[in-house]
Amino acid sequence: MFNPHATRRTILKSAIAGVAIASASNAVVHADLAAARPFPQHIRYTSGAILPNHISQEEMDAAVKRHYDAWTTTYVRTDGGVGAWIDYDESGATVSEAMGFAMVLAAYMGDKTNFDAFYTYVRAHPSEIGPNLMAWKQELQDGMMVDVEGADSATDGDLDIAYGLLLANAQWGSDGETDYLSGALAVMHDTLTYVVNPELSSLMCGDWSGEESAHYTRSSDFMTGHMLAFAKADTENAAGWEAIHDTITQAVNDVFVNEGEGSGLMPDFLEHTGERWRPVPGEWLETEHDGDLYWNACRTSWRTAMSWLTDGRGDVLGSQQALCAWIQDATDGDPRNIMSGYTIVTGELGQPIEDYSDLAFVAPFAVNAMTGGESAQEWLNTLWDSITGKDFEEVYWYFGDAIRMHVLLTISGNWWIP
């Protein structure tokens, strides 16, 4: 089956291997404009969650701010016609994933100037299918950002865009020039209409997904905390969002007790076979490793932990804690030994796919470590040091830097729920 998104992660992969991107950035200067919850916010997570304890709260907050400043300076661009966008590779392109990341980060940091510029850009590039969703990719051509490789959507970007708008509503309200809440609800409602398989209450990969791909899902969309926030905001459809959360946790647990053999490893893509969720057996959308933990599933150790950290939902806590133990054992407690991908279906369970480490794979394990209790405290401390300078520079590359920023906000105690 042909799919226009087949090269999406492959394109990103070409930018890695430890080389920092040199961005032609024309960054918007960000400012804290009367945010209701200005950074930092020190949140009390679920009982049992741990934070780094070898440095002070002030030092953690300063690290978050430093990395955010580096992020905006390096990746925010304002050329291209309207608004601001994230330069996600060296070709002058962006994707909805990057815009969703950017909107969430700007809202948490109280950066209204950049947030509004990002949202202006997003609204200028709607999907040709779901009108309130975003077209997944644009490139700079003759001074203008234009949609390329199909003007349809990618689910992960839209979920973050909606969540970012909920944060913006909490920060600045919706009675001014921009109605953030209505914008969030519009994205959520189009997600329910065009992206959710109603039979399975599962997230499909985009609004392009037809009947032949309706029983597939992508683990990078397993944003458990987002689903619960959507249920609170979209009360009319709360049961639907809760059902999607339940499907996500069922998929995680299906793999955990079967193909994952209790390791907690998750594949990039899963299919529902009529009985349960399983890793896809081979290449389905992107690479031969679609059924392994690779460039999509690298985020699941962070994303699936969030509903426990912020809401106390223990649906996948067993999987998270098992993964925390597994990765410490597999790496001898050294983050530099976290490799970029692990096999689930293409070889013996847990064998490294690549022979190098990457920030996009290392950073999410810090959120995962928060679930591990006292036995994971030293591991979490070591991961903090690794991703804040010991092993990875302040500017690494777009994807890893974006994930690191989300992780630092979380493990520093600054991830609040709108």
Tell me which residues are annotated as active site. 97, 156
Cα distance between residue 359 and residue 21, in whole Å: 14
Cα distance between residue 111 and residue 117, in whole Å: 10
Q: Look at residues 95, 81, 85 and name the one whose alpha carbon lies nearest to residue 26.
A: 85
Q: Is 176 exposed, middle or buried (0-12, 13-18, 19+ CB in 10 A)?
A: exposed
Tell me the two tokens of residue 222.
């397993």
Cα distance between residue 165 and residue 181, in whole Å: 6
Residue 342 β-bridge partners: 293, 352
Residue 86 β-bridge partners: 76
User: Which strand ranges, in their side-by-side order, compose the sheet holding 93-95?
Assistant: 93-95, 137-141, 144-147
Q: Look at residues 321, 162, 322, 170 and name the one whose alpha carbon lies nearest to residue 244.
A: 162
Maximal C-alpha separation, the chain: 56
Cα distance between residue 50 and residue 375, in whole Å: 10
Cα distance between residue 220 and residue 100, in whole Å: 13
Contact 264, 323 (CB under 8 A): yes
Contact 161, 100 (CB under 8 A): yes
The owner of tokens 């070889």 is 347
For the residues of 48-68, what is the DSSP string, one character each? T-----SS-HHHHHHHHHHHH
